[in-house]
Chain A
Amino acid sequence: MKSIAELEEIRKRTLEEIGLRKNKNSFRIVVGMATCGIAAGARPVMQAFVEELKKRNLHDVQVTMTGCIGVCRLEPIVEVISPDGSKVTYVEMNPEKAVRVVAEHIVNGRVCRDLTIGEAEGVK
């Protein structure tokens, strides 16, 4: 069974590490988590983002959730907000696509155009 003592260990280990992290302005990932999002698979998508960010040691990217974004038929929907405030909306997401967005968009700064709402809706 998991023990409270482990929490003390985690505290000792991570406090130093947190202090070393630069508090720079970073990306924010917002996952739509209303009924429509949940039913379409938003929970595993959010977990995939968290896992992939952890794997790559990207501690300063914030992952959060929100209610209905408004286009239920394109759920799971994820918004990626850049440090400069610009926003990209990804639609019909799944865990594999989430991993790709982290690698291409968050790490390399290249928007995955084929996954965006503009592409899905044929807006050029």
Chain B
Amino acid sequence: MGVRLMRDISLHLLDILQNSISAKATEITVHIGAIPSQDLLYLKVTDNGVGMEKELLRRVVDPFVTTRKTRPIGLGLPLLKEAAKRSGGDLVITSSKGRGTKVKATFGLTHIDRPPLGNIADTVVVVVTAHPDLELEVSFSNQTASQKLKLAEIRKHLGNVPLNEAEVLNWIKDYLKQSQKAIFGGVLDEVNC
């Protein structure tokens, strides 16, 4: 089947969002920011899920630690940590039991081993398809501008039309694609740097 790996940041994001949803989060905030003057790209995901005890939090980037029952291996966070470290960044997770979890991955913006940003719109659309009631907020920023998409805002305008209606999903996808392009400016979903 060829090599299987997390090709870009948008796939890591999908993985973290799935973690948040498994942790019963109902509100998730995603922020992706580029700070060229510090040669920094970061991904920040905050949720209001069940959170983690100190003990689990300490071991969570260990590939042999997981909450799933199917097998005793969990590669999501360790892979993200490795990807971040390869480009001179790091992964920092803070969490409190019953309150939620915050995951922040940093990358060296111009580092040759930084994973590409990838298609954030596709990741968000897949999550909204499966979880139309999730309170999700996605924002992009660079040093001079920012763009935000708040699903709660969209819901206000849609009334009883669910967010996973095909036309609405298309709207969200196009909106995020345009926002990503407007803020990061690169070609092929990349950050212009």
Task: Using CB atoms and an 8 Å cutoff, list the residues of chain A in contact with chain B.
Answer: 1-2, 4, 6-8, 10-11, 13-15, 18, 31, 33-36, 38-41, 43-44, 46-47, 50, 54, 59, 63-65, 67-70, 72, 92
Contact = CB atoms under 8 A, between A and B. Distances in A.
Nearest to A10: B167
A92 to B, nearest CB: 7
A14 B68 contact: no
Question: Interface on chain B toward A: helix, strand, loop, or mixed SS?
Answer: helix
Given A15-B159, A34-B68, A92 B1 contact: yes
B120 to A, nearest CB: 12
Interface string B145-176: 00000000110011111000111110100110
Interface stretch (B10-18, B27-35, B50-58, B97-105): B10-18
15 contacts: A2-B171, A7-B168, A10-B158, A10-B161, A11-B161, A13-B167, A33-B18, A34-B76, A38-B18, A39-B4, A50-B166, A54-B166, A59-B166, A65-B18, A69-B70
Contact of A43 (B14, B75, B178, B182): B14
Chain A CB within 10 Å, residue with most, of B4, B68, B153: B4
Interface residues of B, number: 41
A35 B79 contact: yes
A103 B31 CA distance: 38
B168 A10 contact: yes
